[in-house]
Amino acid sequence: MIPMAQLRPHPKNPRVALRDDVVDAIAADLEERGHIEARHALTVRAVDDGYEIISGHHRQAAAGKVGLEEVPCWVVEMDEDEAYMALATSNNQGELAPLEIGLHALECVGKAKAGRGKKGGLSDYARKIGKSSQYLTQLVAAAEVAKSVSQLTDLLSKAQHLYAIHGLAGKPKDGRHPHWPDVVKAMLAGGEDGKGWSVDKTAANVQAANSFYGSETLTRILGWRVIRLREAATRWLPKLDVTAAIACERLATQDVDRLITIAGEFAEKLLDWTEQMTKLMKSKKAELRSAVPGLLEGWIEWLAEHAGGKSWSLREMRRQRDEVEDLMAEFESSLKEQAEATFVVHACDFRKAPVPDESVDFIVTDPPYPQEFVPLYEELAIFASRVLKPGGSCIVMIGQSYLPDIVAGMTKHLTYHWTCGYITPGGQAVQLWDRKVNTFWKPLLWFTKGDYAGDWVGDVCKSEANDNDKTHHHWGQSESGMADIVDRFTTKGSVVLDPFLGGGTTGVVCVAKARTFIGIEVDKEVASKAETRIREETSRE
């Protein structure tokens, strides 16, 4: 008799899980008898300070359930290999599940010893447990698939299913197929009743996937003119991933062909459209050119980004194509509206705006005043040094609080020329509580690109009384005040740019006074409203 406390299950017991019905039946018998009969003694081997069970795992569990403190055991001498083999041979009477036999054989034999007829190989193992080599080969293949998933209890009756999945094309020579777990999951959850595929269904799905893997379907992508689409194909339709998706019934072979056709034909359409729009833009005045939207790049990136999801769905692909076609139509419509216009609005960060180098005569702008925006002023100076023509001016309305910091940043890239004064509407005062100042004016910092090339200018600007206008933007300026600035610093027919367009007041004034105007606004909604406001002014003219 050996105390229960000294017994421990074999760590490599091939049983995935003990059968509760068997444990309960043995426990019921032990409750009545009060002990395990000698003829049902466990087989164990001595290890360290206890005993490792070779045969009798169910009996040990039942004895523990009824509270037996000791059980009869046969103690045998075995090394680790002999003990592990005995786990299978002794459990044949206990009807190991086929998958459990495969798991045991996989661990016992291993790939290195799997030669036919080789001592220690599958044939030798099959002879010892009384199974055919062919049958055992299938069970080992099933076990390899089972080992790739975390939950084995659901697979005990699925050895044939797993054997079929083992044949999925694309498996590396040494190692597991990366998509075995995906197909196993689909197999378990599939079927009309949600209770899983049949063996035949599993085999048919794998065969369909393998037929695709061996086909030339994906090579059709190489025939498209759009080189970037070909380059992105491995991200959009990775061969292994598509093969697995077909096996999982997430994608049909014929749908792959349709996806390639739609994606390729539309990419070529976008390529032609982009070339046409680019040619059209080159015919416009440089300062009024808009960047042709990168719809082709966006289409290709959408395909790659949504691989395995939306871009593998015919419905979603058609929906995305329709959205892109709407953007194409919007851009073409905007070009028609601007055909005779003297302004353009870019809805983007001014640092990314498609404004050609040395194409602007004057920058007139009113950036945000709070301290967190101070670094933007130096960025503005960098931008101005690029887009201004030699001798061009940059007029910047600012608050007084951070004037030294702003000047220091901007003079790194532009030449400081003068500080002018802008009298606030009607002499109204703004109270700066942190500085205890009532201010009736704002500085207009005047910078140039190189030497100033214009006429004499008076250095005080003002607006009409009570003409402060916040209707179109919470930081908006009055039209009369901006008109004074535009008249004072710019000339008729010149190109004026405002990189902080806001409500569009600068644009309205410039268009009304026959200036070519470029507006930039990072907020797309605000930019759209400002553009509409400026266009209305154009219509009045």
Out of 3.90.1530.10, 3.65.10.10, 3.40.50.740, 3.90.1170.40, the CATH code matching 1-96 is: 3.90.1530.10
Residues of the chain with pLDDT under 50: 93, 111-117, 470, 472-476
Give the angle 454-456-462 at the CA atoms, nearest 5°: 110
Q: Which residues of 490-527 are buried (b: 16+ CB within 10 A; e: fewer)?
A: beeebbbbbbbbbbbbbbbbbbbbebbbbbbbbeeebb
Half-sphere exposure of 178 (CA within 13 A, CB side): 9
Residue 291 neighbours by CB distance under 10 Å: 14
φ/ψ (deg, to 5) at 535: -65, -40
Q: Which tokens is 335 given?
A: 């070009």
Whether pTM > 0.75 for this model: the answer is no
Same fold, 1-96 and 343-540: no
Q: Where are the domains of the chain?
A: 1-96, 218-237+250-339, 343-540
The single-letter DSSP state of residue 289 is -
pLDDT of residue 94: 53
pLDDT of residue 339: 52
Task: Name which of 190, 304, 286 is nearest 241 in CA terms.
Answer: 304
Tens-digit pLDDT profile for residues 409-425 = 999 999 999 999 999 87
φ/ψ (deg, to 5) at 260: -65, -40
Tens-digit pLDDT profile for residues 174-216 = 888 999 999 999 999 987 777 889 999 999 999 999 999 999 9
Q: Which tokens is 385 given?
A: 């040094």
Task: Name which of 288, 287, 237, 240 is nearest 264 in CA terms.
Answer: 237
pLDDT of residue 228: 85
pLDDT of residue 337: 57
Measured distance CA(516)–CA(493) in Å, rounded: 6
343-540: what CATH class? alpha beta
Enumerate the H helices of 373-440 as residue ranges.
Answer: 374-387, 403-410
